[in-house]
Amino acid sequence: MNMDLQKVKRLPITVALMVGAFVATLNETLLGNALPVMMGELQVGATTIQWLSAAYLLVVGTLIPITAFIQQWLTSRQLFFTAMLTFLLGTIFAAIAPNFSFLLVGRVIQALGTGLIIPLLMNTLLIIFPAEKRGSIMGVLFLIFTFAPAIGPTLSGMILAALDWRWLFYTIIPITLISIIVGYFYLVNVTVITKPKVDVLSIILSTIGFGGVVYGFSTTGTESWSNPQVFGSIIIGGISLVLFVIRQLRISNPILEIRTFKFPMFSLSILLMIVVMMSMFATTTLLPMFLQSVLLVSAFHSGLIMLPGSVVNGLMSPVAGKLFDKLGARVIIIPGLLIVSIAMYFFTWFTLESTALYIIIAHCLLMIGVALVLVPVQTYGLNQITPEYYAHGSAIFSTLQQVAGAIGTSLFIATMSARSQSHLAQSTNQNDVTVQLTASVAGYSDTFMLGFVISLIAVMVSLFIRKKAKEKLSN
């Protein structure tokens, strides 16, 4: 690359990209508390309204894998404005939507912008920041990636308390415009345009593969595993992914460079990231369910109970990044995974008498551990690959985060439902409300025990992280 990266104005570029990523990831959960209200106004059922969230995640999950290819066709500025203007258009569509169909189209358009901006942000940061500063900047990045969606339900509850659901979209329009304006003045092109041949078959296989897997696992929240809609989507998606991988290894210009996995520590980092993302996404889903269905807490108050953990995670992410820059990966990631394991064990002690304070402390502990793992493990993994793999490595991390979240959530919810039913079946008075709640608590406890075991396995895997991994960077 001919550009002198020392002359690049990193701060405004980072601000423009991160503001865009903030509003994009915030939208993943912003509608949570609004769905019941929107069901009444738009006159649709629960199954239909869920598509506003499911479609968003589905589009993001299917688009991210091909962003590495897109970044070889469009400059940084072109991709940024394409992403943010698309997101802005979708937001306006959703805000003025006269009916559900129009609103769903707006959400899909929003998701297209989100799927483009996240990998662009990560790849740009890898290029403009030297290796010794990446931990710190990735820490700030993860503050956004975890804090924005975490505050979504709480923020939506506050907005809905005073305004109607359309303001969930109106309020993010000016923030999006700020990102676009800053990007217009300061964002420069930092990627190399090679314009490789478009392999249509790879794009089709990628879309069907990742889309099928994410959709299939996500649907398990409302459908049983025996439903063809669930297992059929997962099987078709799995077969398509196998064919996609084979195709990428055979063609000269792959859409997603699978050979990125030839770097052992990158592959190990991916494995650790998947385990932690499964635990975090599943717990973020299960805790509100436990609070609302077992402890009978309102949706708004459950959001408030979850908020301290999100805040702690946001504050710890930059700290974890700075610690990584100073101390390296092993001394941060291994203790982080131990903290995750301890938190998961604390969750197994939930009872009908569990207090909000106990749940807040356990959740804060989990989110501290997650911050200590996710920021260093992703920075460490991406530091192992050579510059030509940056876009692919970022796309792989972003894609597998979505897949891990979908799989982790469905696995934990399915386990919770099965174990709760098993405990209830052992009772002689299954119609008693207290017995049902006790069985549910036992089901949650068993599920968190599964998370505890998985996190312990991750601890053992993390012992293989090299103390001094050889850098392969040329910044």
Instruction: Choose among 334, 351, 280, 341: nearest CA to 312.
Output: 280
228-242 pLDDT, tens digit per residue, is 888 898 899 999 999
Q: What is the pTM of this model?
A: 0.76
Q: How far, in whole angstroms, is CA 137 from its chain's centroid? A: 18
- pLDDT computed for residue 93 by the predictor: 92
Per the rule left: phi > 0, alpha: psi between -120 and 50, beta: everything else, 296 is left
Domain boundaries, the chain: 1-194, 197-252, 260-475
Check if the beta carbon of residue 430 is closer than 8 Å to that of residue 410.
no
129-154 burial, b if ≥16 CB within 10 A, otherwise e? Answer: bebebbbbbbbbbbbbbbbbbbbbbb
- pLDDT computed for residue 299 by the predictor: 66
Instruction: Choose among 194, 233, 232: nearest CA to 210.
Output: 233
Check if the beta carbon of residue 283 is closer than 8 Å to that of residue 451.
yes
For the domain made up of 260-475, the CATH class stated in words is mainly alpha
Q: Where are the alpha helices (DSSP H) in 28-75?
A: 35-42, 46-49, 51-63, 67-70
Check if the beta carbon of residue 74 is closer than 8 Å to that of residue 116.
no
At 23, which helix (H) or strand (E)?
helix 10-26
Q: How far, in whole angstroms, is CA 64 from its chain's centroid? A: 12
Least confident of 148-162, 196-210, 446-460: 148-162
For residue 434 the two structure tokens come to: 């207290």
pLDDT confidence band for 5 (50 / 70 / 90): low
Number of helices and strands in the chain (H, E): 18, 0
- pLDDT computed for residue 222 by the predictor: 63
Read off the DSSP letter of residue 426. Answer: T
Q: Do domains 1-194 and 260-475 have the same CATH topology?
A: yes
245-259 pLDDT, tens digit per residue, is 999 898 888 888 888
- pLDDT computed for residue 474 by the predictor: 38
User: Is the confidence at residue 401, as pLDDT, over 50?
Assistant: yes
- Integer angstrom CA distances of residue 171 from 88, 160, 164, 177, 189: 12, 12, 12, 11, 30
Pick the CATH number of 1-194 from 1.10.10.10, 3.40.630.30, 3.40.50.720, 1.20.1250.20: 1.20.1250.20
Find all residues with CB under 8 Å of 276, minimum gap 6, and list them: 337, 340, 370, 373, 374, 377, 458
Better-scored residue on pLDDT, 70 or 360: 360
- pLDDT computed for residue 338 by the predictor: 95
For residue 215 the two structure tokens come to: 């959709």
Q: What's the average model confidence in pLDDT over 393-399?
A: 81
User: Is the confidence at residue 468, as pLDDT, over 70?
Assistant: no
pLDDT confidence band for 164 (50 / 70 / 90): confident
Angle between helices 51-63 and 390-425 (to 10 degrees): 140
- pLDDT computed for residue 59 by the predictor: 82
pLDDT confidence band for 106 (50 / 70 / 90): very high
- pLDDT computed for residue 76 by the predictor: 81
Residue whose token pair is 């460079």 = 257
How many Cβ atoms from other residues are within 10 Å of residue 225's Cβ?
13
Instruction: Choose among 73, 71, 86, 184: nearest CA to 119.
Output: 71
Check if the beta carbon of residue 402 is closer than 8 Å to that of residue 275.
no
Read off the DSSP letter of residue 194. Answer: -
Least confident of 45-54, 168-177, 364-373: 45-54
3-state SS, residue 425: helix
Report the distance separating Cα 175 and Cα 165, nearest Å: 18
Residue whose token pair is 């949706």 = 299
pLDDT confidence band for 217 (50 / 70 / 90): confident
pLDDT confidence band for 470 (50 / 70 / 90): very low
Instruction: Choose among 379, 402, 277, 267: nearest CA to 322.
Output: 379
Q: How many CA atoms lie within 13 A of 194 on its CB side?
A: 16
Report the distance separating Cα 255 and Cα 258, nearest Å: 9
For residue 450 the two structure tokens come to: 């599964």
Report the distance separating Cα 359 and Cα 52, nearest Å: 29
Q: What's the average model confidence in pLDDT over 158-173?
A: 85
Report the distance separating Cα 363 and Cα 371, nearest Å: 12
Report the distance separating Cα 88 and Cα 97, nearest Å: 14
Read off the DSSP letter of residue 30. Answer: T
Check if the beta carbon of residue 206 is closer than 8 Å to that of residue 244.
yes
Q: What's the average model confidence in pLDDT over 69-91?
A: 87
Q: What's the average model confidence in pLDDT over 83-99?
A: 92
Read off the DSSP letter of residue 326. Answer: H
Least confident of 27-41, 241-255, 285-299, 354-368: 27-41
Better-scored residue on pLDDT, 263 or 407: 263
